[in-house]
Structure 1
Amino acid sequence: MTSLMIQKDIVNACKIETIKVILEELNGDHFTLLVDESFDVSRKEQMAIVLQFIDRMRFVMERLINIIHVQDTSALSLKVVIVNLLAQHSLSLSSVRGQYYDKVNNMQGEVHGLKMLIRQKIRPAHSIHYFAHQLQLTLAGISKKCFEVGKHVVLVSNIFNVLRSSFKRMDDLRDSQKAIIQEALEMGELTIARGLNQQLDLSRACDTRWRSHCKSFNNLILMFGSILDVLELLALDARSIDERVKATGHLESYRTFEIVFMLHLMRDVLKITNVLNKCLQKNEQDVANAMLLVEVAKRRLQVSRDDE
């Protein structure tokens, strides 16, 4: 129990037995490749490889077969890693019938991307975006065409960076939240119950996960007064001129009607698309139902536009 080497041996043995079961489920049939890259806690690039296939009971299964640390993230190197991994388990690229990747160039590039390198070898290996990923890419693409939205997203990101860059500022933010909640409770504006009045946090928004923007904007609205308090303190007590100038600029922008209006507008719009996003991520989703859900979301957005 205290030997790191023995623990690693046990984990590897469990992995081997798990993969055996997955290959029995696959039964030598066709499958789809799902590949995603991310950083681990030590900031090393790692690649997760998942197989999607239909089992003997005709259910769609998704099974993670390995997570590999990669140093070279070029498309050609990733292809070699995938081919070698499949070969270790007596699998071949010729059985691949679909590819799911994110939108980065080394994956989706039309000339030298991993998608095209595999298609050159295996023509039936079509590349498809997940329903939810298509929605996120659409939202990100449209938002970049609207200057006001883009400016708003940048401001939110900058305020996040300013506040999260110091433990003291985060402590000040929490203290301000507590004071505002206590005052609201004393005035009877809030009720006490289990699960209510939980401490909120600033969550970083990510372009490939637009549900994170919904959470980020919602928390900014709920924490509006606390954020103003911290920015005011920083504008007065910052150690350097640069920090004071940044805090003052963010404070002036954050107080404007346009920013407050955009916060509420984006939250309301993203609430509608976030519901759609959650529905599209369900394992049992089908194309016909997905199209219906998109139509419902479009009608809800149109109603919001008509009501101004």
Structure 2
Amino acid sequence: MTDLMNQSQHIQKVLENFNSDQIASNRLHLKASIDVVKVLAFQGLAFRGRDESSDSINRENFLKILDLVVSYNEYVAEVIEKAPKNAFYKSPKIQKEILHVFSNKVKKAIREEIGDAKFCLIVDEARDESMKDQMTIIIRFVDKDGFVREPFFGVVHVPDTTTLTLKDKIYSILSHHSLDIQDIRRQGYDSANTMRGEWNGLKALVSNDCSHTYYIHCFVHRLQLALVAVSKEVILVQSFFNRLSSIVNVVGASCKRIEQLKKDYVDQIAYFVEIRKLETGRGLNQISTLQWAGDACWGSHLRSISSLVNIFSPTCEILLKIIKEGNITSQ
């Protein structure tokens, strides 16, 4: 193996040939990328877009922000411009590596906070935009100052959502961070059979390994389902939400209608501001559209009603226009 290696390209030889200026330039180049990654990660923004070629008019967030940083600092611009072609500080691979380092540092800090304390697991799974199943893990514990903490511990891709797969992934993560499953004192999941099944659910499998662990159906989810079930027993309430859902679906089915709705809403706000019936200020009068109500989404019914109240007149205008111009029976 040693004989096959090109000694002149050995990593140690390459490092020894760097002078202090080159080292400083490389560190500055990398620091610029790290700072941009940090901003995007903390703001929860997407890093990349569909077209990141040099002639693209919209190279998306990472490269755009990096270009902005470069435009205000000639030294950084010079360092990045003169960087060798094999310096991939801006590549997606490097972005992921930087994010991975941040993730590990956050998890390490959370692990140190947990210490020897007992903890609870809050787990849910959902499908992301790429149609892959992801499992989110939150750890609930009491810190050394007596405060209840619920830090987000990570998102894990799962090839399927069978109970054994979910259990193995959870145990793997806990083991990787030296968290003993015998210290689990509570499980918090939704009401899906995969999660809370009495015999083969995740709840049952974890309880078999740790008899001290008890299961609690997510309080928010349980309350939401109870409220939805009760409201459906009241005919007027059920009729109202059925009609609300119909309105949201009809208006939201067309991009053209949504754009018209937003335009009418802007005109409405301008009118109310002009006659001084609406306060102005930072964060007020944000342009929005109608919201869907989901049975399993806490607060979604209130948001749906509030959205209709806020843009009631523009919504009526859209519906009247559909009635006048509609060419099918349903319209």
For residues 230 and 96 of structure 1, do their structure 2 counterparts lie closer, same or farther at Cα, with a shift above 3 Å needed?
same
Deviation at residue 226 of structure 1 after TM alignment = 1.9
Q: Is the counterpart of residue 143 in structure 1 residue 227 in structure 2?
A: no
Residue among 114, 135, 153 paired with 1:47? 135
Matched residue, 2:103: 15
1:125-274 residue pairs with structure 2 within 5 A?
125-181=213-269, 188=275, 190-191=277-278, 193-194=280-281, 197-238=285-326, 241=328, 245-247=329-331
Aligned partner of 1:36: which letter?
Answer: D
Larger mean CA deviation between 79-88 and 20-29 belongs to: 20-29
1:207-230 CA distance string (max 9 Å, x none): 223422112112213322222221
CA distance in 1, matches of 2:135, 2:312: 38
1:120-173 CA distance string (max 9 Å, x none): 222221112454344323212212333332333232222212211211111221
Deviation at residue 197 of structure 1 after TM alignment = 4.4
Residue among 145, 163, 168 paired with 1:75? 163
Asked if the contact 1:139/1:210 (under 8 Å) is kept, the reply is no
Q: Secondary structure at the match of 2:330?
A: helix
Matched residue, 1:258: none
Deviation at residue 97 of structure 1 after TM alignment = 0.5
CA distance in 2, matches of 1:173, 1:201: 7
Asked if the contact 1:144/1:150 (under 8 Å) is kept, the reply is yes
Aligned partner of 1:139: which letter?
Answer: L
Deviation at residue 179 of structure 1 after TM alignment = 4.3
Matched residue, 2:79: none
For residues 7 and 181 of structure 1, do their structure 2 counterparts lie closer, same or farther at Cα, with a shift above 3 Å needed?
closer
CA distance in 2, matches of 1:65, 1:102: 18
CA distance in 2, matches of 1:158, 1:219: 14
Q: Secondary structure at the match of 2:194?
A: helix
Asked if the contact 1:50/1:62 (under 8 Å) is kept, the reply is yes
1:254-292 CA distance string (max 9 Å, x none): xxxxxxxxxxxxxxxxxxxxxxxxxxxxxxxxxxxxxxx
User: Which sections of structure 2, spanning at least 5 residues, go unmatched?
Assistant: 1-88
Q: Is the counterpart of residue 115 in structure 1 residue 199 in structure 2?
A: no
CA distance in 1, matches of 2:263, 2:105: 51
Structure ranking higher on relative contact order (CA contacts 8 Å, 6+ apart): 1
Deviation at residue 48 of structure 1 after TM alignment = 0.9
Matched residue, 1:30: 118
TM-score norm. by structure 2 comes to 0.65
Asked if the contact 1:35/1:101 (under 8 Å) is kept, the reply is yes
TM-score norm. by structure 1 comes to 0.69
Q: Secondary structure at the match of 1:128?
A: strand
Asked if the contact 2:141/2:148 (under 8 Å) is kept, the reply is yes
Deviation at residue 181 of structure 1 after TM alignment = 4.4
User: Which sections of structure 1, spanning at least 5 residues, go unmatched?
Assistant: 248-308
Asked if the contact 2:265/2:314 (under 8 Å) is kept, the reply is yes
For residues 129 and 201 of structure 1, do their structure 2 counterparts lie closer, same or farther at Cα, with a shift above 3 Å needed?
same
Decide which structure has greater helix share: 1
For residues 97 and 234 of structure 1, do their structure 2 counterparts lie closer, same or farther at Cα, with a shift above 3 Å needed?
same
Larger mean CA deviation between 15-24 and 73-82 belongs to: 15-24
Q: Secondary structure at the match of 1:71?
A: coil
Aligned length: 242
CA distance in 2, matches of 1:40, 1:101: 19
Aligned partner of 1:30: which letter?
Answer: K
Cα root mean square deviation, aligned: 2.5
Asked if the contact 1:102/1:108 (under 8 Å) is kept, the reply is yes
